[in-house]
Amino acid sequence: MISSTSKNTGFWASKKRQEKIISLILFIIAWAGAFIFVVPLVWMITTSLKTPTEIFTIPPKWIPVSYIQLDYETKLIAKASGKIQISKGEEGSRILDIIKDGKIASSVVVPAVGSLLIKNKQTVKAGEVVAELPTTGITKIIKNNDGTLILKIVSKAGFTIQEYNLPRGTKLKVMEGEQVRVGQQLATILPQWRNYIEAWAPKALNETFNTYLLNTCIITFFAILGVVLSSTFVAYGFARFRFPFRDPLFLLMISTMMIPVQVTMIPTFILFKYLGWIDTFAPLIVPTFFGGGAFNIFLVRQFFMTIPYELDDAAKIDGCNYFQILYIILLPLVKPALITIAIFGFVYNWNDFLNPLIYLNSSSKYTLALGLQTFTTMYGSYYHLMMAASTIVLLPVLIIFFLGQRYFIEGVATSGLKG
């Protein structure tokens, strides 16, 4: 007879083992999701440090360092059988046309530095060597005014074997007049940090990113100030005061979150136009001082609700008025929520594209988002500069998020008193 306890002795019988396996699966899923989100960010940063020729290499390069090696075919081979017909090409080159059945079956271009191994009208077979290039050469280094280099490999007769256009910051492994051979490393192209300098002050735009950064900082600072102040006062009223229709008004305020931005966009624009605020920072700053947003009010109000009312009563007994209760007692306890809405406000206003696009007309008043869009229009084919500009705009957001991550998580969790 089989004991009933034998059914619980399998691999999944241990609850502790089940919890470990579930935790491992969740851990793997979390890391896989993080990897998916991080890969585009890493690719953007590495691309911002590349040269234009490194961006579309196959296979893709993740590390923005390239090694220049003298590499070319020293033997030119006929790709078809037939009779050779030699003609002159550009810059001293020769064109070997292989004629078969009265048609050109294949062609081989021999540069001026190459040596022919066949004669005109000679019959060759497919795979036969028809010309040779020298396996060694002499280096010739030309420095341009912009800091770039031209590295030429020439033969003893002065004909160019290979030519390389090298960007600024290239580390040469050879010297002027040095003899090199096929397979030898010539230079190392280091990460192009200068891409950030060129992207920050583009020559094709009327303004530099200094102007865009200043405008964005002004708007973001005052918008965060307005959001934190106004949402704190409104949330304090909903959380700590009792007045007629408080709960219906709170529900009405929360319901505004369901109204699409497109519904109020045109009426708001007409209002600001009558006020004469178009092409000023006022439409981007002043509204934040009138409530701070339904979500921010809700978040701070929920945090206030976790704080016992006994603290308010004790403060009143000590002679504190309502503003002193808010400033001295409550605000230190809701600091995580305030930092959370400040982070939300920073990210929103820093990345905001639609509102500046609607209300700002002068390029001297553009924010970083508008400046980046203008930059992309002018430099759309310069992917290394476009990625550098995008990295510059994104970097402050990443820094702020990581610095305030602890408060951000605590604020969203809306935890209450500790100890």
What pLDDT tens digit does each residue of the chain (419 aa) get?
Answer: 444 444 555 656 677 777 888 888 888 998 888 888 888 888 899 999 988 888 888 888 888 888 888 888 888 888 888 888 888 888 788 888 888 877 888 888 888 888 888 888 888 888 888 888 888 888 898 888 888 888 888 888 888 888 888 888 888 888 888 888 888 888 888 888 988 988 888 877 777 888 999 999 999 999 999 999 999 999 999 998 888 988 899 999 999 889 888 898 999 999 999 999 999 999 999 999 998 889 999 989 988 888 888 888 888 888 888 888 888 888 888 888 898 899 889 999 999 999 999 999 988 899 999 988 888 888 877 888 889 999 999 999 888 888 877 766 665 555 443 43
For residue 1, what pLDDT is reported?
44
Distance CA 348, CA 45 (A): 22
Distance CA 389, CA 2 (A): 72
Q: Are 227 and 345 in contact (CB under 8 A)?
A: yes
How distant, in Å, are the alpha carbons of 34, 203, 377, 392 from that of 41?
Answer: 11, 26, 21, 12
For residue 9, what pLDDT is reported?
57
pTM for this prediction: 0.76
Chain centre to alpha carbon of residue 188: 25
For residue 418, what pLDDT is reported?
41
The closest alpha carbon to 350, from 287, 393, 405, 288, belongs to 393
Domain spans of the chain, in order of start:
14-47, 66-190, 200-413
How distant, in Å, are the alpha carbons of 7, 219, 258, 259, 345 from that of 295?
Answer: 52, 20, 11, 13, 11
For residue 359, what pLDDT is reported?
94
For residue 360, what pLDDT is reported?
93
For residue 416, what pLDDT is reported?
41
Residues with Cβ within 8 Å of residue 221, at least 6 apart in sequence: none
Tokens encoding 334: 């809701």
Chain centre to alpha carbon of residue 275: 38
Tell the CATH topology of 200-413. Answer: MetI-like fold (1.10.3720)
Residues with Cβ within 8 Å of residue 203, at least 6 apart in sequence: none
Distance CA 358, CA 361 (A): 8
- Domain 66-190 CATH assignment equals 3.90.1150.10: no
Bridge partners of 100, per DSSP, are: 103
The closest alpha carbon to 364, from 273, 280, 270, 256, belongs to 280
Distance CA 199, CA 37 (A): 25
SS percent in the chain: helix, strand, coil, step 5: 55, 15, 30
The closest alpha carbon to 131, from 118, 116, 112, 111, belongs to 116
For residue 7, what pLDDT is reported?
52
